[in-house]
Amino acid sequence: MVASLDIIKELPSKEDLVIVYDLRNSVILKKKNRLEDIEYITSISLKDLGAEDTAFESEVIEGMKYLGSGAGGSVYRLLNDKGEASNKAIKIVRTFPKYKPGSDIPFNYSKLLSRSTPKDRSSYEPGGLKSMTMNRFQADFFRELRNRQSKGESTPESIPKVYQYVEGTLVDSLRNAIITADPNGDKKFPEKTYIALWVMEYIPCIWSNEFCGKTESKRNWNSIRALNDIRYNKENAAYSETARYVLDEMGYVMKDLRNPRNFGFRDNGEVVFFDPVVIPYPSQNLDTNTKLMASLIYGYAGENKFTEAIANGSYYKMRLF
């Protein structure tokens, strides 16, 4: 008998179960609350639900359909128990822990930095220090969004709904499923690597399907002036709303939002920025560990450019970075 897909199943106990695969197999992530509401994977099991054929098919993992990958990680669309696409997606990224295991002592980033190669510090190659640092900030960002939304706090419509968040050591069953779906999964996610994943709303109209015709996909995406054209007022208004909330309420600046792959439209035409590169701001308020991390993503004098744009107001109006 096939179990129904229940993405977030709340249990009346100190622990929850998050089902991220279903149909013939079910991967269960068992988690518990830790510091700062971070939820860590503590165990995982692969259940055979009695189907005759448990083999994976094409790019469809049991319960998830592979959508794509980038330097940040891999994205899948969740399927319901009938094999139909749901309105939820899951992103899995490789990163490092925020704290040392079982303590409130921050992860020793300076040691990680000193052991890295110049290439790891300068390139966003998957698995490199720079990409994992970017992923750590993005994971923290989506974890905080999930916590805010779960408490009933209103967030801008231009920010996706986040339904669940967990992080921990990648177990073999989930890694095998990733590799089956993603041709480069074995390189992006080595055995026992540390990951973060979050379940969020699926945004249907994106660059790969030309935004369902809701905006022009063929344009000069590198030109700030071109993106400021009156034709894109809706996008820019959504960006402005997002930029103000993310900085004023959450303490991050955003970059890489000129990238057409990082935003899209809901069916009702609302613009959503679902994959921003985020950096804590200002760095003077950060602890030494986080300040080192931020400096790697800002780049040389990068924070000064944000400070200038924020001061003159252009940061809130245009996708400058």
CA distances from 220 to 80, 228, 258, 276 (A): 38, 11, 10, 19
Distance of CA 292 to the CA centre of its chain: 21
- The DSSP result for 57-102, as a single string, is BTTEETTEEEEEEETTEEEEEEE-TTS-EEEEEEEEEE---SB-TT
Q: Of all helices (H) and strands (E), which one includes residue 269?
A: none
In sequence order, which residues have a C-beta less than 8 Å from that of residue 72 and are 6 or more positions away?
A: 91, 93, 131, 134, 135, 138, 275
Per-residue model confidence (pLDDT) at position 319? 93
Q: Any bridge partners for residue 164, and if so which?
A: 199
How far from 192 is each of 42, 109, 139, 186, 225, CA to CA, in Å? 13, 19, 18, 11, 45
> What is the helix (H) or strand (E) element at residue 140, kind and residue range?
helix 129-150
Region for 99 from its dihedrals, namely left if φ exceeds 0, alpha if ψ lies in -120 to 50, beta otherwise: beta
CB distance 247 to 310 below 8 Å:
yes
Encode the chain (321 residues) as per-residue pLDDT tens digits: 233 333 333 333 333 434 443 333 334 444 444 445 555 544 333 332 222 222 222 233 346 788 888 877 889 888 777 778 889 999 999 999 988 777 777 788 888 888 888 888 888 888 889 999 999 999 999 999 999 999 999 999 999 999 999 999 988 887 887 887 777 788 878 898 999 999 999 999 999 999 999 999 999 999 998 999 999 999 999 999 999 999 999 999 999 999 999 999 999 999 999 999 999 999 998 988 999 999 999 998 999 999 999 999 999 999 999
Burial 68-80 (b: 16+ CB within 10 A, else e): ebbbbbbbbbbbb
